Structure 1
Amino acid sequence: MAIGTLDWVSAADRPELLAEPVARAVVGLEGVEVAEIDPGLADTAAFCERYGVGMDESANCVIVAAKRGGEVRYAACMVLATTRADVNGVVRRHLDARKISFAPQDDAVGLTGMEYGGITPLGLPEDWPVLVDAAVAVHPGVVIGSGVRRSKLAVPGALLAGLKTAQVINLAN
């Protein structure tokens, strides 16, 4: 996959560039590539500018905490960097939550085993829904986190849509 100016290689060949849960998750998956980046440029806008990746080729993974009746459930939302997920409307209703918020950084990092700024749907806890925006699901190739800030993954949107806990919906308002 040729996205931006990065040197992409099979993620299976470079597990040292992945968080441990991500390295386990990519075993046997076709079409997952990884590229090493400057960890100081992991945030989407800086990354896209430096490496020539369009914002419409980059997808963000947002972890939300859905609350109802004293119970907290976590979910991941995958949206293109050009899209803003309607967390308080679409996502809250879809998860049947009374209240929803972005998961606190310590919770997101501790529960996923990934670095903040690199969290990705590959390797998330198996009971977490992954809400994939329809635009991501049909994208031929998007850049996402690798679980660490020092690399990025390139994957077909169909791979994300096909994850065991994936649910494809329109996440924008």
Structure 2
Amino acid sequence: MRAPIGDFANARPVPDCLDQLTAPVAEAVRAWRGTVSADQMLYVDTDPAIADTAVFVEHHGRDLLDASANCVVVAGKRGGETSLAACVVLSSTRVDVNGAVRRQLGARKASFAPMDTATGETGMEYGGITPIGLPAGWPLLVDAAVVDTEWVLIGSGRRRGKLIVPGKTFAELPGAVVLEGLGVTPG
């Protein structure tokens, strides 16, 4: 099957590819009960050596530039306590950590979580973190532009492989809070 975005010859429904996913992502797909069926979520095999956005887009299609999203783990600190959350923004933007994230988490200070914390807490590989399968109870902050995008390319939990899912899916993920202005244009 052809993917709805990008130049991927072999897109497959995610439930047919659970062995390609990390355990938390596979479990989240098995348990999925959203309005978008799990069969509408697609898996595409990709080469981790070309994961850099510019190279990836050049290889798999320029239309991916406006349809790719990043999921990052952030740490909010207040009164000696640290809480983790995930943020999803379009790849053409950056997460407003010191503004929107800090305010939403009620934190005095917010920053990107260290790589070992992000991978250790999610059970996913760095460079492939996805909002599907995050730890229970985590806030998931999603930029409204992601939800408004018809099809979104995002990590699969591993550096190899990506997921292509309808944007509206992100609003239905556990802990999701959709925010205007979470993703800001760099500059």
Match of 1:88 among 87, 94, 98: 98
1:21 correspondence with 2:21: no
Q: Distance in 2 between matches of 1:62 and 1:45?
A: 18
Give 1:172's aligned amino acid: G
- 1:13-162 pair list within 5 angstroms: 13-27=16-30, 28=32, 29-52=38-61, 53-162=63-172
**Aligned equivalent of 2:7:** 5
Q: Are the equivalent residues in 1 in contact too, given 2:90–2:183 (CA < 8 A)?
A: no
How far residue 30 of structure 1 moved from its aligned partner, in angstroms, is 4.1
Q: Are the equivalent residues in 1 in contact too, given 2:64–2:153 (CA < 8 A)?
A: no
TM-score w.r.t. the length of structure 1 is: 0.95
State the secondary structure of the residue aligned to 2:95.
coil
- Unaligned 5+ segments in structure 2 are 33-37
Q: Distance in 1 between matches of 2:93 and 2:75?
A: 20
Q: Distance in 2 between matches of 1:47 and 1:126?
A: 31
RMSD value, Cα: 1.2
Q: Are the equivalent residues in 2 in contact too, given 1:26–1:32 (CA < 8 A)?
A: no
- Unaligned 5+ segments in structure 1 are none
Q: Distance in 2 between matches of 1:109 and 1:164?
A: 19
Q: Distance in 2 between matches of 1:91 and 1:30?
A: 32
Q: Percent identity?
A: 54
